[in-house]
A and B are shown apart, each in its own frame.
Chain A
Amino acid sequence: MSQSALVAVLALPALGAALAALLPDRAARLAGTGFAGLAFVASVLLGVAAHTGGWFSYQPAESGAPPIVPWTSVDVSWVPGLDLRLHFGVDGVSYPLVVLTTLLTLLCCLYTIWHVPAGGGRGGTLVALLLVVEVGMLGTFLALDLVLFFVFFEVVLLPMYAIIAGWGGEDRRHAARKFALYTLFGSVLLLVGVFTVVAAAGTADLVTLTSGAVMSRTTQLAAFTLLAIAFAVKSPLWPLHTWLPDAHTQAPTVGSVLLAGVLLKMGTYGLIRVAVGVAPEGARWAAPLLGALAVAAILVGCLVCLAQTELKRLIAYSSVGHMGFVLLGVATLTATGIQAALIGNVAHGIITGLLFFLAGAVKDRFHTGDLAVLGGLRERSPWLSGLLAFAAIASLGLPGLAGFWGEAFAVVAAFERGGGGWVTLGVLAAVGGALTAAYFLRLLRRVTHGPASPAVAAAAAPALRISGMELVAWSPLVILALLVGLVPALVLGLSDIPVQSLVEAVIR
Chain B
Amino acid sequence: MTQSVDHVALLPAYLAAGTAVLVLLADLFVGRRVAPVATAVAGAVATGVVAIVVGAGPSRSTFCVPDACSYVANGRAALMAAVFAFLTAGVVTLSVPLLRAGVAPAGEYCFLLACSMTGGVVLGAAGDLITLIVALETLTLPLYVLVGLRRQTMESAAAAVTFFVVSVVATAVSLLGAALLYTVTGRLHLTLLAPALTGDVTLAGNDPVRALDLPLTSVGIALLLLGLAFKVAAVPFHAWAPPTYDGAPLPVAAYLSTASKLGGVVAILAVVTVALPPGVTGPLLATLAVLTMTVGNLVALRQIRMTRLLAWSSVAQAGYILAPLGALGVADTSTTVVTASVAYAIFFVVLEIGAFAAVVALREPSADGGRIDSYYGAARRHRWVGAALALALIGLAGLPPGLAGLFAKVAVVRSLLTGSSGWLAVVVALNAVIGLAYYVRVAAILYAPDPLARPARPVPWPVAGVLVVATGVALAVGFAPQFVLGWAGR
Contact = CB atoms under 8 A, between A and B. Distances in A.
A192 B440 contact: no
A81 B432 contact: no
Nearest to A155: B400
B429 A79 contact: no
Interface in A345-364: none
Contacts of A458: none
Interface string B395-427: 000011100001101110110011000100110
B339 interface: yes
Contacts of B444: 165, 173, 176
Interface residues on A, range: 35 or more
A82 interface: yes
B401 A158 contact: yes
Given A158-B400, A195-B417, A189 B411 contact: no
A80 B414 contact: no
Interface string A159-195: 0011001100000010011001100110011011001
Interface in B205-260: none
Nearest to B436: A184
B383 to A, nearest CB: 11
A199 interface: yes
Contact of B482 (A80, A121, A151, A173): A80
Task: Name which of B339, B394, B413, B414 has the most chain A CB atoms within 10 A of its CB.
Answer: B414
Interface of B (DSSP majority class): helix
Contacts of A452: none
Contact of B400 (A79, A151, A166, A173): A151
Contact of A188 (B418, B429, B481): B429
Contacts of B401: 155, 158
B437 A222 contact: no
Given A155-B400, A165-B444, A188-B430, A195 B407 contact: no
Interface residues of B, number: 33
B406 A151 contact: yes
A196 interface: yes
A180 B482 contact: no
Contacts of B425: 192, 195
B105 to A, nearest CB: 43
A16 to B, nearest CB: 16
B433 A188 contact: yes
A165 B444 CA distance: 8
B426 A192 contact: yes
B55 to A, nearest CB: 19
B489 interface: yes
B130 to A, nearest CB: 34
B458 interface: no
A222 B440 CA distance: 31
Contacts of B489: 81
Given A180-B440, A188-B433, A79 B447 contact: no
A44 interface: no
Given A161-B440, A166-B447, A184-B436, 8 more contacts: A78-B482, A82-B485, A147-B410, A173-B444, A180-B436, A184-B432, A188-B429, A192-B422
30 contacts: A79-B481, A79-B482, A81-B339, A81-B411, A81-B482, A81-B486, A82-B485, A136-B400, A147-B410, A151-B406, A154-B400, A154-B406, A157-B400, A161-B440, A173-B444, A177-B440, A180-B436, A181-B436, A184-B432, A185-B433, A188-B429, A191-B409, A191-B410, A192-B422, A192-B425, A192-B429, A196-B422, A198-B414, A198-B417, A199-B418
